[in-house]
Chain A
């Protein structure tokens, strides 16, 4: 059974800092991994998807990496801004053709001005 872990549960950093959010999964036979952002009381916004054959994906100030062998993914946020404050979740699907996602509990990020 796949388990996804995100530690720490919360993080507070000053504006401008580069930071790394971690995501660990127990079953390395994943098809892809997706990073989401959630603002309080809102739905999830997809940030990046990394396919199992990829090592990295980039979008603006965000960079996500995937290391299947070690069961880890990281989300790198460059030059953090107060607007980046949100909860960040990672998720993996059951299979490449099956949409059931297993989520980590998320990391709540606070960027201080």
Chain B
């Protein structure tokens, strides 16, 4: 069974540009969550999509947006990039069974804003 696939693995962008990251979840998983990881802040929740609907949203500005397609693949978009957006972006594919939730993560996309 294939794991969670994130593309691209590395990105370098210039301030003011926009970027789109992609995440393909494990087959059968309908929930996809996005997290930002920085050395200072640790792992911060961005948003979660379930069956194409945003179910949870973290405390990030509107420059951060996402969507989920009918095949459960998800994209995350960041517009008007700032230096502080440099981070490792992690996608999690989750399944809820019998009253508990298990998450599996991709390898992440390392975004550097210069």
Chain A positions near chain B (C-beta within 8 angstroms): 31-32, 34, 36, 41-46, 49, 51-52, 89, 91, 93-103, 105-106
Binds A, one of B65-73, B78-86, B97-105: B97-105
The answer on a CB contact under 8 Å between B100 and A44 is no
**Most chain B C-beta atoms within 10 Å of own C-beta, residue among A44, A98, A99:** A99
Q: How far is the CB of B105 from chain A (nearest CB, A)?
A: 4
The answer on a CB contact under 8 Å between A99 and B42 is no
The answer on a CB contact under 8 Å between A44 and B101 is no
Q: How far is the CB of B51 from chain A (nearest CB, A)?
A: 12
A96-B101, A101-B92 are contacts. A43–B108 as well, Cβ < 8 Å? Answer: yes
B50 at interface by CB-CB < 8 Å: yes
Residues of the B chain whose Cβ atoms lie less than 8 Å from the Cβ of A46: 102-105
How long is the Cα–Cα vector from A94 to B58 in the complex, in angstroms?
A: 12
How long is the Cα–Cα vector from A34 to B48 in the complex, in angstroms?
A: 18
How long is the Cα–Cα vector from A14 to B65 in the complex, in angstroms?
A: 45
B18 at interface by CB-CB < 8 Å: no
**Secondary structure of the A contact surface, majority rule:** strand
How long is the Cα–Cα vector from A89 to B31 in the complex, in angstroms?
A: 21
**Tally of contacts, chain A with chain B, CB under 8 A:** 81
9 A-B contact pairs sorted by A residue (CB < 8 Å): A34-B103, A36-B105, A43-B6, A44-B105, A46-B104, A91-B103, A93-B101, A97-B96, A103-B42
The answer on a CB contact under 8 Å between B33 and A100 is yes
- 15 further contact pairs, Cβ within 8 A, besides A32-B102, A93-B100: A34-B102, A36-B105, A43-B90, A43-B108, A46-B105, A49-B100, A96-B99, A97-B96, A97-B99, A98-B48, A100-B45, A101-B35, A101-B103, A102-B45, A105-B42
B94 at interface by CB-CB < 8 Å: yes
Q: How far is the CB of B10 from chain A (nearest CB, A)?
A: 10
Residues of the B chain whose Cβ atoms lie less than 8 Å from the Cβ of A31: 99-101
Residues of the B chain whose Cβ atoms lie less than 8 Å from the Cβ of A42: 107-108
How long is the Cα–Cα vector from A42 to B107 in the complex, in angstroms?
A: 5
Residue of B nearest to A44 (CB): B105
Residue of B nearest to A101 (CB): B103
B103 touches which of A41, A51, A96, A99 (Cβ 8 Å): A99
